[in-house]
Amino acid sequence: MHTRSTRPRPFPFHFFRTATGNEPVRAWLKELPENERRLVGIDILSVQFAWPVGPPLVHSLRDGLWEVRTRSPTRIARILFS
């Protein structure tokens, strides 16, 4: 059985939320196939617990804007964060 860690995440992520409360990135993630969603989740956790992280997982876009690149067999998913 898998249990979640109770250790606080040193680099918390919060999804972008529109003025009406929609979270388009979260909605997009939920539409991904389970195996790809899991890969993205693992990469986000890696950033949260091992920051700072560099290429090939994380790339600086400049001025404090970063992207997490998750490679799956069919695509590359990019999650932007600041």
**Helix (H), strand (E), coil (C) string for the chain:** CCCCCCCCCCCCCCCCCCCCCCCHHHHHHHHCCHHHHHHHHHHHHHHHHHCCCCCCCEEEEECCEEEEEEECCCCEEEEEEC
pTM summary value: 0.81
pLDDT of residue 81: 93
pLDDT, average across residues 36-57: 93
Residue 3 lies in a domain: no
pLDDT of residue 18: 97
Residue 8 lies in a domain: no
Residue 19 lies in a domain: no
* Distances 3 to 15, 34, 44, 67 between C-alpha atoms, Å: 23, 18, 17, 28
Residue 55 has pLDDT above 70, yes or no: yes
Residue 65 lies in a domain: yes
Residue 63 lies in a domain: yes
Residue 58 lies in a domain: yes
Task: Tally the domains of the chain.
Answer: 1
Domain holding 39, by residue range, is 24-81
Residue 38 lies in a domain: yes
Residue 9 lies in a domain: no
